[in-house]
Every structure is written in structure tokens, then in C-alpha cells.
Amino acid sequence: MSVLNLSSIHLLLLFSSLSGVDGYFGHFEMRCRFSSKDPRDIEFLLQVYGNKKLLGQYNSTTEKCTVYTQWMKNFTETACKGPAFLAERREEMKKYCSSNVPVVYEYLLDKTVEPYIRLRSVELFSTRHLAMLVCSAYNFYPKPIRVTWLRDGQEVTSNVTSTEELVNGDWTYQIHSHLEYTPTPGERITCMVEHFSLTEPKLYDWSKCVCVDLECLNEIRVLGWEGL
Ligand SMILES: *[C@@H]1O[C@H](CO)[C@@H](O)[C@H](O)[C@H]1NC(C)=O
Ligand SMILES: *[C@@H]1O[C@H](CO)[C@@H](O)[C@H](O)[C@H]1NC(C)=O
Ligand SMILES: *[C@@H]1O[C@H](CO)[C@@H](O)[C@H](O)[C@H]1NC(C)=O
């Protein structure tokens, strides 16, 4: 799908505390940033935090440390230098990042979860002539998605607003696109969804929605007690 582009993904691998003295808390983070299956494309970061603030980091792309505080500057002038330091970081990168490429791709990056789509209308109280349609995509992975509106097969760009991809907190995302329009008899309004999990764009026709009371939906779902 050419419109979508999977950008690099950070994987946080290790989180360990340094010390905890009277409210001061330090920790390390080791991050592997994957952008392809080629281990040479991995970026490894070793970050040092104090009270959640990033104090300094080692970056494998440049094989250099960047420091953000005077205290770290003193530290890096001695510790963050020399062949032994670099050898250790290369070893960590191999151990935590490169060796995990197959697992990371098989269980995370190559995984896709198809969105559940809900198309519905929202009443606009300010005027009787306008209608607002909402096309929502729920629980999809990965993040890149394209939700567009078609009027008689042509893409509509005006009077369309969309949220960002919202984080669900379990690796999945949701997004909501709104179309404000003046209903015209005979026209066909469609919501089109493109995503990695779909081999071709999925189309949801407003005319095929079923209305119950005041709500119209593309699919009637019978909710169990858990769903209510
Ligand atoms: C690491 O260094 C490379 C090369 O300068 C840079 O492109 C990249 O953004 C750096 N990574 C971070 C997290 O700062
Ligand atoms: C860093 O080192 C300089 C001199 O090398 C010293 O004056 C300064 O106090 C040190 N700073 C810290 C925060 O230890
Ligand atoms: C966009 O909405 C305005 C009213 O808010 C309407 O006048 C206009 O015709 C709409 N544009 C399109 C392309 O539907």
C-alpha cells in the first residue's frame, strides 16, 4: 500500500534502577530502534535518566555520547570514551538488538490487526440541513492508516476533520474521521479505509447502514453484558 509508510519503531528492552536516595531516582534505558530486518539498520541507544529527565545518551549510529548536564559531562569525559567502552556497547547492541531481529519481526513488527469500522451519523443541532457522518476505525495495528470519504466515488477533501491515531494502551490504535455535508438525494457517500492488515481498501457505504431509533450503523452488533 503506497500511501502508508511504516516508520521506525522503538523497542524498549531494559529498565533498571541505578540508585534511590531521598527522592532522587536514576535509571538506564536501552533502546533498539528497528527500521528494517537488516541488523545494520538498527540504532541502539543507551540512555541515562535522573528523576525521569534524560541526562545523556550513547547513540550507536555516531558511536558517541551526548550529554545534557554538567554532571554528565564530567562523567562522559572519562567513562564514555575509549575502545573498552565502545566494545561493551557493541556487545550490548548485538545481544539485545541484533539477535532479536527475527523475534521482534515475527511477534511485533510483522503483525497486523484489522480495524473494526463503525460508520454512523451524528445529529447537528445547530442546523437541520447539515449532517455529520463519523467513520471510526477501532483496535488496529500498526499505526499508519488512511480513512477517507468518497462522494459518488470521488474523494471529498472539504469539510472533513479527523482525530490523530489515538493510543489504546495495548499497542492498538483508534481514529475518527468526520464528514460534514448537506445530504443530496441519490448521492453515494462512502468511507474508505486503507491499512496494512487489508489487502485492498475497504469501503463502507452510508446507504447500506441500518438505522435503529436515531442511530444508523454499518453493522448491528449484539452487545453482551461485557460490552455494555
Ligand atoms: C542518533 O544519531 C543519528 C546520526 O546523527 C541521528 O540521525 C539520530 O537521530 C540519533 N538518534 C537519537 C535518538 O537522537
Ligand atoms: C565538573 O568538573 C569541573 C572541573 O573539571 C568542576 O569544576 C565541576 O565542579 C564538576 N562538576 C560537577 C557537577 O561535578
Ligand atoms: C462545506 O460546508 C459548508 C457549510 O458548513 C457548505 O456550505 C459547503 O457547501 C460544504 N462544502 C462541500 C464541498 O460540501
- Best residue among 68, 69, 70 to mutate for probing ligand 2, ranked by most atoms within 8 Å of CB: 70
Tell me the per-residue pLDDT of 94-150, one tens digit each, with 9 for 90 and over. Answer: 998 999 888 888 877 778 899 999 888 876 655 566 778 999 999 999 899 999 999
CATH code of 116-222, in short, is 2.60.40.10
Q: Given this model, what pLDDT does residue 10 score?
A: 52
Tell me the per-residue pLDDT of 30-57, one tens digit each, with 9 for 90 and over. Answer: 888 888 888 899 999 998 888 888 988 9
| CATH 2.60.40.10 domain range(s) in the chain | 116-222
- With a cut of 80, say whether residue 211 has pLDDT above it: no
What is the grid cell recorded at 219?
453493522
DSSP 8-state assignment for residue 124: -
Q: Given this model, what pLDDT does residue 102 score?
A: 87
Ligand 3 proximal residues by C-beta, below 6 Å: 158-159, 180-181
Q: Given this model, what pLDDT does residue 167 score?
A: 93
- With a cut of 80, say whether residue 165 has pLDDT above it: yes
What is the grid cell recorded at 20?
534511590
Residue 216: closest CA among 126, 115, 132, 127: 132
| CATH 3.10.320.10 domain range(s) in the chain | 7-110
- With a cut of 60, say whether residue 226 has pLDDT above it: no
What is the grid cell recorded at 104?
521482534
Q: Is the CB–ligand 1 distance for residue 62 below 6 Å?
A: yes
Ligand 1 atom closest to Cα of residue 33: 13
Whole-angstrom distance, CA of residue 54 vs CA of residue 48: 6
Query: Minimum-distance ligand to the CA of 29?
Result: 1
Q: Given this model, what pLDDT does residue 62 score?
A: 93
Query: Separation of 131 CA from ligand 3 center, angstroms?
Result: 11
**Range scoring the smallest mean pLDDT among 36-40, 53-57, 194-198, 215-219:** 215-219
Residue 194 identity (one-letter amino acid): E
Judge whether 212 and 223 are in contact, CB under 8 Å.
no
| Contacts with 72 (C-beta within 8 Å, 6 or more apart), sequence order | 48, 55, 56
Task: Share the mean pLDDT of the chain.
Answer: 80
The CATH class given to the 7-110 domain equals: alpha beta
